[in-house]
Amino acid sequence: MIEVVWIEDEATFRRFASRWDEAIYACADDNPFALSDFVLTWWRYFSDNRSLRICALIEEGKVVGGVPLYCEKHLGVSTLRYAGAEDFKVANYTNFISLKPLEYILDHFFRSLDARDDWDILLLDRLYGNEKIENAIRCQSEKYQLIVSSGEQPTFVIELVGTHEELLGRLPKKLRYTVRRGYKESRAQGDLDLKTATSDSEIDRVLSAYIGISIKAFAARGEKSTFTDAMLRNFFTDLIACFQRRGILEVNELLLDKQSIAIHIGYGLKNKINYVLTTYDVDASQFDPGHLLISELARKGLRENRAEIDLFTGDVLYKRQWATRRDRVMSFTLMRNTWLIRMRLYGQSVKNYLKQYAFLRSIKRSLTQ
C-alpha cells in the first residue's frame, strides 16, 4: 500500500535523504537535480520567503516516487514549483521519481494534492516527459484550470554510436568542416588533449579557471556570466564539492599546448555525459574550442562506452547541429478553482483585452492619418 508523505522542513528531509536518493539511483532517469545534495544546497541559498513541500510516496518503507517541490506566496497566491526551477538558472529539466508506472505515481500524487488547501498553482516547468506523462497530467484538467505550454524547448542529445570518425561524418557539412579545420589549426600550434580532473585540488583549480574564462567569454558578448553573481558562484562551488564527494562529478579540461581553452563540468547518475557547465577561452576562438570540446567529449564517451551526451535544453545553433535526437521537455500549470485564481484569470483577460484594444486603436489611427 502506498503512503504519501509531505516533508515540509529541512531537518526531516535530511533524515529522509538516504531513502530518497536510493530511489533516484534506482530510477531509469538520470536526474541529478532531484538528489538530496542538490535540493539541500539549493535550499541553503534560496529558501528566503519559501517553504518546502517535498512529496514522497512510500511503499514498505521505501521511496517509490516523489518530487521535490517548494511553495512561495505572492499577492496571496501560493505556487508550488520544483526545487531549482527555471528562474534560478541552476538546474535543467526534471521529472518525478518513479519506481512504479508513472501514471500510478501521478495518480497518488494528485489525490494527495487534492486533499491539501495550502496551494493555488502547481507550476511544472521544464518537465522531461512523453505522451504518458502529458496524458496523465491532462486528466487533471477536469478538476483544475490547466495550461500546457506548447513552446517548450526540447533537450538535445548526441547518441554515441560507431566510431569517432563516423560520428563526425554524420555532422552537417559546414560543422564537419569547422571541426576538422579546428583540429588542423590547433594541432599546428601544439598538442591538443582532453584531461579529466579527479583530485580535489585539480577540480578546485579547474573550477577557478572556469569562473574566470566564463566571465571573460560573456563579457566579450556584452553579457554577464552566472558566475558574476556571488550567490550563484557560491552555490555552484558548494554543489560541485557535494557531487565530488558523492562520486558523480565529471570535470574535463581541453588543453592546447598545456593551456586551457575549454572546460566541461557535469554531473549525472547514468552511463552518459551531461553537458551542464561549459565555457571556452575567447582568445582561442580561431580554433572553435567549443566545438572541439564537444568532439573530444564524444571521443571520450565512445572510448568509455557511454550511451550519449545530453546537451540539455536551450535552442541554440550548436546544439541543433550536434544533436542526433531531441527529447521532449514540457511545461504544465495547474490552477485550483478558487476565488483568488478566478480573480487572477479575470484580471489577466482584462489586461489582454486592453492590450488588444490599444493595438487596434493604434492601427485605426495610423490608417486615418
DSSP characters over 160-193? --S-HHHHHHTS-HHHHHHHHHHHHHHHTTS-EE
Q: Are the CB atoms for 323 and 308 separated by under 8 Å? A: no
Residues 6 or more apart whose CB falls under 8 angstroms from that of 212 comprise none
Alpha-carbon span 267 to 94, nearest angstrom: 14
Q: Give the C-alpha separation, 37 to 39, whole Å.
A: 6
24 and 138 belong to one structural domain: yes
Half-sphere exposure of 273 (CA within 13 A, CB side): 29
Residue 245 in any domain: the answer is yes
- pLDDT category at 369 given cuts 50, 70, 90 is low
Q: Tens digit of pLDDT for each residue in 16-52?
A: 999 999 999 999 888 999 999 999 999 999 999 999 9
Considering the domain architecture, whether residues 244 and 301 belong to the same structural domain is answered as yes
pLDDT of residue 130: 77
Do 56 and 188 reside in the same domain of the chain?
no
Residue 214 domain-assigned?
Answer: yes
Q: Do 60 and 40 belong to one domain?
A: yes
Nearest Cα to 16, choosing from 69, 61, 70, 71? 61
* pTM, 2 dp: 0.89
* 126 plus 228 within the same structural domain: no
How confident is the model over 162-182, as pLDDT tens digits? Answer: 999 999 999 999 999 999 999
Q: What is the mean pLDDT of residues 91-114?
A: 92
Give me the residue label for grid cell 539541500: 40
Q: How many domains does the chain have?
A: 2
Q: Specify if 332 maps to a domain.
A: yes
Residues 144, 170, single domain; the answer is: no
83-95 mean pLDDT: 86
> 306 and 162 in one domain?
yes
pLDDT at 82: 94
Residue of 274, 276, 277 whose CA lies nearest to 308 = 274
CB 295 within 8 A of CB 121: no
- Give the pLDDT confidence of 343-367 residue by residue, as tens digits: 665 455 545 545 554 554 555 455 5
Domain presence at residue 283? yes
Instruction: Report the C-alpha gap between 253 and 244 in whole angstroms.
Output: 16
192 within 8 A of 182, measured Cβ to Cβ:
no
Q: What is the CATH number of the domain that holds 250?
A: 3.40.630.30
Adjacency order of strands within the sheet including 308-312: 273-274, 308-312, 155-159, 325-327
Phi-psi region of 119 (alpha: psi -120 to 50; beta: other; left: phi over 0): beta
Domain shared by 223 and 297, yes or no: yes
- The verdict on 77 and 196 lying in the same domain is no
Tell me if 350 is assigned to some domain. Answer: no
Decide if 51 is inside a domain: yes
Range of the domain at 54: 3-152+328-337
Shared domain check, 172 and 145: no
Rounded Cα distance, 3 and 251, in Å: 39
The per-residue pLDDT for range 255-264, each reduced to its tens digit, is: 999 999 999 9
Q: Report the side by side order of strands in the sheet with 259-267.
A: 192-197, 249-256, 259-267, 277-280
What's the pLDDT at 237?
96
Shared-domain flag, residues 163 and 148: no
Which cell is 154 given?
526540447
Cβ pair 300, 236 in contact under 8 A: no
Is position 349 within any domain?
no
- Residue at 218 is within a domain: yes
pLDDT value of position 364: 45
CA atoms within 13 A on the CB side of 315: 8
Answer whether 9's CB lies under 8 Å from 66's CB.
Answer: no
Q: Phi/psi zone of residue 221: left (φ > 0), alpha (ψ -120 to 50 degrees), beta?
A: alpha
Residue 167 and residue 281 in one domain: yes
Amino acid at 28: A
